[in-house]
Amino acid sequence: MSTTSFQPLPWTRTPEGALRRVGVEIEMAGVSLETMARAIIDEFGGQIEAEHAFVLHVRDSDAGDFQLELDARVLKDRGYREHLARLGVDLEDRDQEALEAWLADAAGRLVPHEIVAPPLEPAQLPRLDRVRAALQQEGALGTERSLLYAFGLQLNIEIHSREPEWLLAVLRAFVLMYEILAQAGAIDLSRRLSPYIRPFPGAFVRYILDPDFTPDRASLIDTWLAHNPTRNRPLDLLPVLAELDPERVAAAPVEHELIKPRPALHYRLPDCRIDDPAWSLAHPLNGWVEVEQLAAHPERLERLAREYLERPGQAVGRWTDEWMQRLRAWF
């Protein structure tokens, strides 16, 4: 079992002065929604509430409400009912329950089972990692177990500031560290080839790293939308941009039905390596902390951005070895 500790974020407070929290989404196979719910209740308390065969909730835990789901929209929304109705199939309740149980079992072999945790304060994250360890012992399977398992570990990290200067600093730090994070985390081929974490376009990276790019909020949002009309990026800003300017995002050709406005950065890059007993939730979170550490040092960030622009496609400066040494120790 991993003993890696969670490193603190350099900015600890939200714009309102509360502790910054992290929402965690964990995709896996090999265990049922009920097994996932029991592991959560053993650590956080609460009780199970079944929405249907594809979605369960753990309500009234001491950390808030958890959702457990088969991550396939047609199942969660029960969209298959419309297809059956078009075929003239009208099932009775008992038959409907039997069909859903069968679909849940069949889909669970390919479709990830997902824990969607509520936003957690830093002190609660080790408790969620104990849930991760319990599910590893129950036989949960992660990204590396199959080419079909493009499973992710997604983090929703509450923002420290709504100012465009802060958002841009974090974004610049992330694009500079993207390849280093991917190498240190050994991001699996199945996820690199999937559409879920497509790299940022080179033109966008060069544009935002230009020291003359000093946008206000509207310009930053417009730049993002022009280059990234999708949530399928290793760092997805659409949720926070929709929170900051819902009308501007609503007017853009993006996946509106999938965007949930919230004051959080949606970090989608990490794999879920839950079947590895040496891996923990601290590994991807500590990688994100390194991004914010770079963003928190503007002179260093500007210097590395200039180096990147001068030598595109090459590692950025003498900091690379330091990053890799630290990140590999954590990953």
Q: Give the residue carrying structure tokens 């929304």.
A: 77
Separation of alpha carbons 124 and 165, rounded Å: 30
pLDDT recorded at residue 4? 78
Record the tokens describing residue 161, joined without a space: 């500031």
Q: What is the dihedral of CA 205, 289, 134, 273, to 10 degrees?
A: 30
Other C-beta atoms lying within 10 Å of the C-beta of residue 326: 16
The span from the first CA to the last CA of the chain, in angstroms, equals 13
Separation of alpha carbons 119 and 158, rounded Å: 8
Beta pairing class for 153-158 and 264-267: antiparallel
Other C-beta atoms lying within 10 Å of the C-beta of residue 111: 21
* Helix/strand/coil (H/E/C) assignment for every residue in 225-283: HHHCCCCCCCEECHHHHHHHCHHHHHCCCCCHHHCCCCCEEEECCCECCCCCCCCCCHH
| Neighbour-count burial of 269, counting CB atoms closer than 10 A to its CB (0-12 exposed, 13-18 middle, 19+ buried) | buried
Element (H, E) at 26: strand 22-28
Helix (H, G, I), strand (E, B) or coil at 11: coil
- Spell out the per-residue pLDDT of the chain, length 331, in tens: 456 799 999 999 999 999 999 999 999 998 999 999 999 999 999 999 998 778 999 999 999 999 999 875 535 444 444 533 443 435 455 545 554 554 555 554 557 899 999 999 999 999 999 999 999 999 999 876 554 556 889 999 999 999 999 999 999 999 999 988 888 766 655 565 566 778 899 999 999 999 999 999 999 999 999 999 998 999 999 999 999 999 999 999 988 888 899 999 999 999 899 999 999 999 999 999 999 999 999 999 999 999 999 887 665 666 677 777 777 666 6
**CA dihedral sign, ordered 161, 166, 168, 169:** negative
Q: Please state whether the predicted TM-score (pTM) of the whole model is above 0.75.
A: yes
pLDDT recorded at residue 96? 54
Element (H, E) at 116: strand 113-116
pLDDT recorded at residue 88? 44
Kindly state the percentage of the chain with pLDDT values over 90. 64
Q: How many helices (H) and strands (E) does the chain have?
A: 14, 8
223-233: pLDDT as tens digits: 999 999 998 99
Beta-carbon contacts of 317 under 8 Å, excluding residues fewer than 6 positions away, are 303, 304, 307
